[in-house]
Amino acid sequence: MAKGTNDAKLLIQSLRKAYAATPTSLKIIDLYVVYAVATALIQVAYMAMVGSFPFNSFLSGVLSCVGTAVLAVCLRIQVNKDNKEFKDLPPERAFADFVLCNLVLHLVIMNFLG
């Protein structure tokens, strides 16, 4: 048991150390992702309390959070300099794609909100 907690502590420490080495721009994107997922979880908890009617509003709320989180992760992947597959992609193009997809996502959400 002690070895287990020791392992866990070592794990968390090395994770924290490795994460501190990431550039700030990526950390900002990670913060946005965490915020979006947290909002989604809050909405699910609220739905569990008051029921799921109207279902389309609940779905649009949760899916907008999940969608924008996923798109932010895609942006992070494309902007990260360590990814050799995307080294030809200028970060402006990646950000423009991100904005476009978010625009479409939120327009559909607004139609679905009801």
Binding site for another protein (CB under 8 A): 7-8, 10-11, 14-15, 18-19, 21-22, 55-56, 59-60, 63, 66-67, 70-71, 73-75, 77-78, 82-83, 85-86, 89, 94, 97-98, 100-101, 104-105, 108-109, 111-112
Q: Which residue has the tokens 């992702």?
A: 33
Apex CA 100: angle with CA 22 and CA 29, to 5°?
15
Cβ distance to another protein smaller for residue 42 or 110: 110
CA angle 71, 76, 81 (to 5 degrees): 150
Q: How far is the CB of 24 from another protein (least distance, A)?
A: 16
Instruction: Find the shortest distance in angstroms from Cβ 42 to another protein.
Output: 18
Q: How far is the CB of 29 from another protein (least distance, A)?
A: 13
CB atoms within 10 A of CB 98: 19
Copy the structure tokens of residue 87.
């080294």
Among candidate residues 108, 44, 45, the one with its CA nearest the CA of residue 71: 108
Residue (49 or 84) nearer to another protein, CB: 84
